[in-house]
Structure 1
Amino acid sequence: DETETVLASLSVDVKKLLMQTAAGALFSVHSKGIIHSDLKLKNVLLVRNKTGNYVAKLIDFDSSYFVDDKPEEIVGTIDYYSPELGAYADAEDDREELGKKVTEKSDIFSLGLIFHYYLAGCLPEPVSLTPKLEKRKAKGKVIYCWVVINSGCELALSPEIKSPKYTMLIKDMLSADPEKRPSASEVLKRLREAEPVIEEPWPEHGLVLDRDKMNAAGAIGLRKTNTGGVKGYEVMYSDGKKRNASREEIISMGYTLAAVPTGFCAPWPEHDITFDQEKLRSRGFIAGEQKEMSGIKGYQLYRADSNSTFFKIEMLLAMKYAVKGAAPAAAPAAAPVPDTAPVPDTAPAPDTAPVAEAPAETAPEAVPETPPEPAAPVLAEPWEGHDITFSDEGMAAKGYIRCERAELGGVKGYNFYTSDGSCRFIRPEMAVIQKLAVKNGG
């Protein structure tokens, strides 16, 4: 067939342009109150325009009729019938009632089948069949799409159609309920819209999106917004609708795998430190919370991708992520020292000052009594379903000496420990990217 030969030679982008011109042609027909009633692959002619591009033109209006004039006989091609047109053609009784259901939306179903063929090279297949249809199939008889739907079964779109935008559009066009199918103008509008993109959330919101749940809910796009300094999101759905949502609404809609805390917590009272939030943010940390691990009070600091690291107070101070006490109060504290300096007997005081510092030096040595626990590298058994194997070499290169399974915000991952007792939570996909693990069979 010439049409099938031409389609096979065209790129997906050209086919998408064909879909727009076909929808535009059908919109023009419907706007005149005409139902084509015999849309099929051969009746959508592919021709080149003046610029050399292929466009679609509708032909063969022999079966067409005005919306208010239902035909007594249906002579279209049965392969591309809509469920309601098939029921009307098959019926001997109640034809008047069934005829009322045959509207412009019947053409939308047929066009949906054509679009599916454009992008997949075939018509949709049934998910399952009734015993009666199974017998017909076993005898080599063709099972038409409209027969599948009228038998209470469902159609499955081809996995060859990769784009969520086109998958959801064709799915809507093939709805069993004509009222749920979009009009020709709505189809054209959705085809002209840019391919939606799910952007990463605002870093300070600490959200990790669950794209599978978003797709299941028909959310095919997410765009960051900033209205009057209020940061939020615009969610785009497969039916063309849009919704503005705040951080909390994105969470309540179930579109997140995890939501890390917002902002930095107050330090443990006994630590007497102040976080340097500017420096923490410059290092990619967006939030922190108090955490106690192995009896040691510290802090879990989070990055925007929900990965987190456990810091003891000594590490925070050493990396200058925090300062002891209030910074301005440190200067007056040193003033009394010169006052005692003139007294000769106090000369040894400077000698004892280093002695006083000795306990401070031994304190870090005392704290790392937890490292002996991970001294011998210990690798966790990966979570079921993660299908990864940890790499001794990769962990050693990053300075990790052991890892264990952990769950954070409902996300299953792993805590990786360094020799100083610091801990970082890493999800499995990030572990593979950082070469801490390899994908089995990959």
Structure 2
Amino acid sequence: MGDFNSKKINKVNFGTYIQELPKREIGKEGLRKKILQKGNSWKTPFPGDEIQVHYGVKLQDGEYFDSSYDKGKPFTFKLGQGEVIKGWDEGIATMKKSERAIFTIPPNLGYGEIGSPPLIPPNSTLIFEIELVSWNSIRDISGDGGISKKIIKEGEGWATPKDVDEVLVKYVASTEDGKILSKFEDGIEISFAYLLGHLYPAMKKCIKTMRKGEIVELTVKPAYYFGNSSFDGDGIGILQSNSNLIIHLELISWKIVVDVTGDNKVLKKLIKVGEGYDHPIEGSLAKVMYIGKHEDGTVFERKGSVEEPFDYASKFIQFDHSFNSHERSRANALRLSCYLNNGGHQEASKMCSKVIEYDPCNVKALFRRAQAYLRINELEKAEIDIKKALQVDPNNRDVKVMYKEVKNKQKQYAQHEVKIFSTMLSRLA
């Protein structure tokens, strides 16, 4: 058998080499296998996986007559789905990535009594040399074929998100013909609580099976599009009833959320992993910092060691006249950043408004004020500032990213309002 890398089968060596093969049975129906080159992994493919192989084939008493190398590309099929002869389904299921092997396939696992004229006569034993190039794992997520997951890139470790965790993802949703319906990619990411789900229910079902860094392609049948209804907004299209939804999804990371009380009434989201293994016990004297916020982000209480020094420093910056213009500008920028990072969004918007009053085209001030408005859910005001900033600087990437964030939040509120309105109507009916 010649080297596959030459892209040509050596017909003389092929027949001679086969005669010397030891008999190693696969199963109990006469399938034999001889490994020529070991694989570079311990994994083997599962039924349903998308397989790529190179192959050469001859009749047991004849010459080579077909090779994928002659065609210039590997052969692709789904394992165990009846797309190829039974000998292939059974034999390739035993192979590892990059493995090369010769299979002797009897008629009952090949083309049987009928054959495949004119190349394969009835009751022919076939000799295949097969190289397993690669495969994409495909899993039935829904259990009924409604959502299938093809793994494009394996994730890290073994951990997967739990029901209450907050996940961070990138995705592109499209029709089967490639029309984009919705996306968060190109450096833009979206986070949401797993328990609450997302616009596409299929994403919620799939994410629970994914590991950090994993990239997949979901094929979603109509029953799993949007639950009981579809949504048509900016960038979201309504699919045809017989069309599959395709979602390219990447799980960037997730924040662990712990159900402290066991009834989902008190949840702890892990923002930063602590040091060591010790925890305070009952009766311990603990020193903490905390910020109390409503669901809309409004701060109602703040305690700890950051607040007092910051308030003092703010007043110092405001009333100390020893700063030159450059130093004061830097100090005010830090002051604004502290407001935004510590929940002082109203104060931040007031600072930006003073700048905009004297310089209406200041892109940075418009951006920061829009950022503050977004944090307190003043979405219309945020959108106005962003549009003004884009008029001055149409290519500003940060402003464009925030514009998408505002539009997405507007969509979420619109969906929420539609749901509430539908519930009200159903109760009135």
TM range (shorter): under 0.3
Q: Which structure has the larger Rg?
A: 1
With normalisation by structure 1, the TM-score equals 0.21
